[in-house]
Amino acid sequence: MADQQWRMTNQHQEEDNDEEAVPVSPVGQYFNSSALCIYIIGVLEFQVPLDESQAIPLLQRLFLPINPRFSSIMVEDSSGDKRWKKVDVNLKDHVNIPLFPEFNSMKPYDKYFTDYLSRIAIEKLPENRPLWEIHVVNYPTSGAASSLIFKLHHALGDGYSLMGALLSCLQRADDPSLPLSFPSLKPSKSANKNFFSTFSLVMSSAYNTVVDFYWSMLKSTIIEDDKTPIRSGFEGTEVRPLTISTMTFSIDQIKLIKSRLGVTINDVITGIIFYGTRLYMQDINKKSSSANSTALVLLKTRNTEGYQSIDEMLNSKAKGPWGNRISFLHVPIPKLEHDRISNPLEFIWEAHNIIKRKKKIFSVPITGILLEMEGKFRGHEAVAKHIHGTLSKSSTVITNLIGPTQPMSLANHPVKGLYFTLAGGPESLVISVMSYMGVLRVTLKAEKYFIDEHKLNSRIKCAFETIFDAALEFSQQAKT
């Protein structure tokens, strides 16, 4: 009788725990499945060495209270659905402090750092504890005195949510009493249109929606990009060795190109990346400069104009800022033909026209609805396999986040720079863009032994310089 009573009490406790557990969002389940396991890797670079003794107290005081997911594990309930279950967190399990060989000289540890970063990016996090960890790298590189690496499972949230959480732990270095500020994301107001122009726009959007939706579905299921110097097409690319490298550009120069050509900053960045990528492809294999290649441009699907406070994130409704509110656009990479070599600005205008047209259509929300329906009827594993196929059939993934305009600090450690990337996907190349204090940081996560990241970096930098000079000449020609 006592044993039976204990089992009944234990069963009731498990049922109560299941009721308290928060359901994992559909996208969160897609990103943590047998088909997909996606991570966000963020790096903070500091001007001074880090005080390692502050790591655990700062995590306890600042990081864990941000969201219950940072103190939860993903479990399956009796119906097979995944939920976030609160657990006790042993912070020592989540803090890693690597030891590199000591040098007698002042030589920076760039290679050791990049090798370490690349190695931990492909390692899977244990499922029996919360899905995040940090790495305190107290060795100088050519760009920083020390670095802090955050590895966060994408199931915890999208880049917007997780970057907002990370930034909530930081403060303004010049005046901690003031909040961090960010560039405005308000779209420019469009001019009033008459009935005929509005009707024409609606009809054009409807036609383009059908065409783009049909093409996107084919790209996700049947048609795959050509194998090129940026797409190996190898099975198991997600677990193959990778390299992570970065480069910087001046936002003021990006803005100058933007104003001279009458486009957006995103158009300029995308055009530079496309042009530089094609130049690299041509260097490795001349025929690949005209190969069929597609970029998946990740989008945030939330009605916000910038990062909100953590309180606003947590108090929002189910479709609010916290969570995985993302989708993507299939954007064909313009081919490097003879006329484009003579006029690289065509890459900017082409990116502008493609993105502008795709923003006016409704294939993205329609695709989201269909994926949600597929998840209900076929299960989250089926949708995860569908997304995996979409990623593997494309050539690259491009994603971007906006950082603050003022210098930041963490517990009086001034932040010199920050960047991020994605890991765990089947693509050979991921290009991430992050802004901070007037500098644009472009990060390449590339398949090791297949992509020459040094040459690719060089060609993207060359593309920037070529387009910048061409934009200045275009402005002068336009004035004459």
Q: What is the residue extent of each domain of the chain? A: 21-172, 198-402+428-479
User: In whole angstroms, what is the distance from residue 292 CA to residue 281 CA?
Assistant: 12
Q: What is the per-residue pLDDT for 429?
A: 97
What is the dihedral sign for C-alpha 386, 388, 391, 397? Answer: positive
Question: What DSSP string describes 349-402?
Answer: HHHHHHHHHHHTS-HHHHHHHHHHHHHHHH-HHHHHHHHHHHHHTSSEEEEEE-
User: In whole angstroms, what is the distance from residue 355 CA to residue 294 CA?
Assistant: 13
> In the structure, what pLDDT confidence band is assigned to residue 18 with cuts at 50, 70 and 90?
very low
Instruction: Answer whether 154's CB lies under 8 Å from 324's CB.
Output: yes
User: In whole angstroms, what is the distance from residue 168 CA to residue 165 CA?
Assistant: 5
Q: Which residues contact residue 82 at a Cβ distance below 8 angstroms, ignoring those fewer than 6 apart? A: 23, 24, 28, 29, 32, 74, 75, 76, 380
Over residues 95-101, mean pLDDT: 95
Q: What is the maximum alpha-carbon separation in the chain?
A: 97
Q: Any idea what the Cα angle at residue 171 is, between residues 169 and 177, rounded to 5°?
A: 125
% of the chain with per-residue pLDDT over 90: 50
Over residues 215-234, mean pLDDT: 83
Mean per-residue pLDDT of the chain? 82
Over residues 406-432, mean pLDDT: 94
Q: Compare 3 and 214 and report the one with higher pLDDT.
A: 214
Give the DSSP H or E segment for 436: strand 429-436
Crossing angle (nearest 10°) for helices 345-359 and 265-284 = 120
- What is the total residue count of the chain? 480
Instruction: Say which amino acid occupies 358.
Output: K
> In the structure, what pLDDT confidence band is assigned to residue 297 with cuts at 50, 70 and 90?
confident
Judge whether residue 209 has pLDDT over 80.
no
Encoded tokens for 364: 């993205």
Q: Do domains 21-172 and 198-402+428-479 have the same CATH topology?
A: yes
> In the structure, what pLDDT confidence band is assigned to residue 446 with cuts at 50, 70 and 90?
very high
Instruction: Answer whether 150's CB lies under 8 Å from 137's CB.
Output: no
Comparing 2-16, 240-254, 272-286, 367-381, the range with the smallest average pLDDT is 2-16
Name the CATH superfamily for 21-172.
Answer: Chloramphenicol acetyltransferase-like domain (3.30.559.10)
Judge whether residue 178 has pLDDT over 90.
no
> In the structure, what pLDDT confidence band is assigned to residue 211 with cuts at 50, 70 and 90?
low
Q: Encode pLDDT of 41-91 as tens digits.
A: 999 999 999 999 999 999 999 999 988 999 999 998 877 788 999 999 999
Q: Encode pLDDT of 453-467 as tens digits.
A: 999 999 999 999 999
Encoded tokens for 227: 């194998």
User: In whole angstroms, what is the distance from residue 103 CA to residue 140 CA?
Assistant: 11
Domain 198-402+428-479: assigned CATH number: 3.30.559.30
Over residues 371-386, mean pLDDT: 78
Give the DSSP H or E segment for 463: helix 453-479
